[in-house]
Amino acid sequence: MSRIRVLVGTRKGAFILTADGRRQQWEVNGPLFAGWEMYHLKGSPVAPERLYASQTSGWFGQQVQRSDDGGKTWEQVDNKFHYEGVPGTHQWYDGTQHPWEFKRIWHLEPSLTDPDTVYAGAEDAALFKSQDGGKSWQELSGLRNAKGHLWQPGAGGMCVHTVLLDPSNPSRVFVAISAAGVFRTDDAGQTWQAANRGLKSPYELPDPDAEVGHCVHRIAMHRSRPGVLFMQKHWDVMRSDNAGDSWSEISGNLPSDFGFPIDVHAHEPETIYVVPIKSDSEHFPPDGKLRVYRSRAGGNEWEALTEGLPQKDCYVNVLRDAMAVDALDPCGVYFGTTGGQVYASADNGDTWSAIVRDLPAVLSVEVQTLP
């Protein structure tokens, strides 16, 4: 029987949750790296025992950890993230230009084919790549040439938080940056184009249709259709059917189109999940009801999934990297909250239960489906 391993990053350490394929009985291991902010952990798709973890601290800076035994033991790898060349400047809060400064790694994306190749999304926004298992990092600096001087930090910082690798085209990578937007390379990271046509940000930007500057919270794709992208923006849920060349809104009947995560069902490319949040300042579910919304039509028509989730007095948030799906059938869906709960559904989202309820605030959730 398959096994499931859920990798949870929190404000004060990492946790590894494991279960068999029934996904009923869970073992909770952790905290690993107790006391550190664990922004993200992710396993290699081709060598699932190889895990990468971003470990960071306001006191002691950035570390990257690597495991080759599924998280039982860890090895500290390189933590030097140098911006290539003269780093230059980006837009600052007061309208002036501000030098690029490395702060932390938000997201680690292992290669689809090589366990030693991994991408790292950084704040201040940049994409780094390692081809030696994290022992050294090189910036793909062409990304910052895509009008980087116009990017600006949102309230959460200016970070590369999403990296999507195209399974059908190793030269194509998408990244999403807060607050800059979506960018795509078709030449393995040498050059990048903004991919934000159709996004509208009337409350955040003086030009609602600006080429860059949109606060994209998350993008997702299904492996079988890498040209179809789904997006949770600051406000608005969007989709693109042409690899980001243009976007259209699919918020439909959602109670709020603000939110952070978005994900795609493992076997149904038109089934997507979001967690509506009341507003940009009220980071909690509308009406105190924690509801995942599912669309089985690729957007516009959404249904609330509530069974097993708190339906009163719930004021947690679900952050952008804190939702994931497994590869079993029926598909498992998982998300973590800022209140420390990790919820799981073993039936496509129809019903939910908490694997664990009292962790530190959850920053990220990734799921591995193991043989």
Partner 1 sequence: MIRVVLPYHLRTLARVDGEVELEVEGPPSLRSVLDALEARYPSLCGTIREHGTLQRRPFVRFFACKEDLSHEPPDALLPAAITTGAEPFMIVGAMAGG
Q: Report the interface residues with partner 1, using CB under 8 A.
A: 35-36, 57-63, 76, 79-80, 82
Of 39 and 293, nearer to partner 1 (C-beta) is 39
Q: Which residues pair with 29 in a beta bridge?
A: 16
Of 60 and 224, nearer to partner 1 (C-beta) is 60
Q: Which residues pair with 370 in a beta bridge?
A: 3
Contact 335, 292 (CB under 8 A): yes
Exposure b/e, 253-290, CB count within 10 A at least 16 = b: ebbbbbbbbbbbbbeebbbbbbbbbbeeeebbbbeebb
Cα(77)–Cα(74) distance, rounded to whole angstroms? 9
Q: Helix or strand or coil: residue 144?
A: helix
Closest CA to 196 of 185, 180, 218, 173: 180
Contact 295, 272 (CB under 8 A): yes
Of 63 and 162, nearer to partner 1 (C-beta) is 63
Minimal distance in Å, beta carbon 140 to partner 1? Answer: 19
Of 65 and 295, nearer to partner 1 (C-beta) is 65
Minimal distance in Å, beta carbon 145 to partner 1? Answer: 22
Minimal distance in Å, beta carbon 186 to partner 1? Answer: 32
Of 64 and 266, nearer to partner 1 (C-beta) is 64
What amino acid occupies position 286? P
Of 33 and 183, nearer to partner 1 (C-beta) is 33
Strand 225-233 versus strand 237-240 pairing type? antiparallel
Minimal distance in Å, beta carbon 115 to partner 1? Answer: 22
Cα(154)–Cα(213) distance, rounded to whole angstroms? 10
Minimal distance in Å, beta carbon 130 to partner 1? Answer: 16
First to last CA, the chain: 7
Minimal distance in Å, beta carbon 322 to partner 1? Answer: 22
Minimal distance in Å, beta carbon 76 to partner 1? Answer: 5
Of 79 and 348, nearer to partner 1 (C-beta) is 79
Asked if residue 31 has a cis previous peptide bond (ω within 30° of 0), the answer is yes
Of 132 and 303, nearer to partner 1 (C-beta) is 132
- C-alpha distances in angstroms, 48 versus 110, 216, 335, 369? 10, 29, 20, 9
Q: Which helix (H) or strand (E) holds 276?
A: strand 272-277
Minimal distance in Å, beta carbon 81 to partner 1? Answer: 8
Closest CA to 234 of 267, 186, 206, 201: 201
Residue entry with tokens 């800076």: 61
